Amino acid sequence: MKARAIAIIDFEFKNGFIEAAEQQKKLEAAIENLVRDTTSVVYHEVDMRERRSSDRTPNLKKMKIRLS
């Protein structure tokens, strides 16, 4: 069986992109630690993007993910 895990974490950074870059490095390290000894993981990637200012939280169950 194949499965894909998706996680969403919304951040608010007071110090802009420098703080975001530092947090992205921490997130990448945490994911690397999670998958390092997990033989069932065949691929992983971490990305952090600027988000719109909406205060609504996304509904992951209703979200449509497009893969190109």
- The pLDDT tens digits of the residues spanning 20-43 come to 999 999 999 999 999 999 999 999
User: Percent of the chain at pLDDT above 70?
Assistant: 99
pTM of the model: 0.76
Cα distance between residue 34 and residue 30, in whole Å: 6
Mean pLDDT along residues 64-68: 79
Cα distance between residue 61 and residue 41, in whole Å: 22
Q: What DSSP string runs through 34-62?
A: HHHT-TT------------S--SPP-TTT
More confident call, 52 vs 32: 32
Cα distance between residue 16 and residue 36, in whole Å: 30
Indicate if the pLDDT at residue 62 is higher than 90: no
Structure tokens belonging to residue 16: 């802009």
Segment holding 19, helix H or strand E: helix 16-36
- The pLDDT tens digits of the residues spanning 10-21 come to 999 998 899 999
